[in-house]
């Protein structure tokens, strides 16, 4: 099992669409930013992230590590989002607005966390590093 000593954010990037590097970077930034905002809102004592603000503070103190993994297609990206959300982990689902690279609104990336590797759904744990 990979190192589970620190919180990380996970970026799940679709591989079945052509996306210039700059566009992929911006989409990943959107995903991390949205997941960060969601993490602040997790304040339910029955939820894994009931102390979302404290967890986010710890993540920031740990130098905000991020891991980018590949989703082979839209279905894999959707599954990663669904299973993560159902596990009670903050997850953002990013759709490009279709103004520059894509002709229409296009799902591109999922942002997850911050969380420990062991908290991720097995499906997400098995995704390959980008």
What pLDDT shows up at residue 35?
95
What pLDDT shows up at residue 49?
53
Spell out, as residue ranges, where the chain has pLDDT lower than 70.
1-2, 43-51
> CB–CB of 36/60 below 8 Å?
no
Structure tokens at 73: 């297609």
Helical (H) or strand (E) element with 5:
none
> CB–CB of 13/111 below 8 Å?
no
What pLDDT shows up at residue 102?
95
What pLDDT shows up at residue 3?
73
- How many whole angstroms from its chain centre is CA 54? 19
Cβ-count burial 20-34 (b if 16+ within 10 Å, e if not)? eeebbebbbebbbeb
Which residue, among 111, 5, 123, 96, has the nearest Cα to 66 in the 3D structure? Answer: 111
Superfamily of domain 8-125: Bit1 (3.40.1490.10)
What pLDDT shows up at residue 40?
84
Contacts of 97 (CB under 8 A, 6+ apart): 105
What pLDDT shows up at residue 47?
57
Which residue, among 10, 11, 9, 29, has the nearest Cα to 96 in the 3D structure? Answer: 29
> CB–CB of 12/110 below 8 Å?
yes
> CB–CB of 8/117 below 8 Å?
yes
What pLDDT shows up at residue 15?
98
């Amino acid at each position: 099992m990979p190192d589970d000593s620190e919180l990380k954010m996970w970026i799940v990037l679709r591989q079945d669409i052509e996306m210039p590097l700059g566009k992929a970077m911006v989409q990943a930034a959107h995903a991390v930013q949205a997941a960060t905002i969601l993490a602040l809102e997790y304040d339910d004592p029955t939820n894994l992230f009931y102390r979302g603000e404290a967890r986010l503070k710890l993540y920031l103190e740990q130098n905000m590590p991020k891991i980018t993994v590949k989703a082979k297609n839209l279905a894999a990206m959707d599954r990663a989002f669904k299973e993560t959300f159902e596990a009670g982990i903050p997850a953002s689902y990013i759709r490009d607005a279709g103004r520059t690279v894509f002709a229409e609104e296009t799902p591109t990336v999922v942002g997850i966390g911050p969380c420990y590797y062991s908290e991720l759904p097995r499906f997400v744990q098995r995704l390959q590093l980008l």
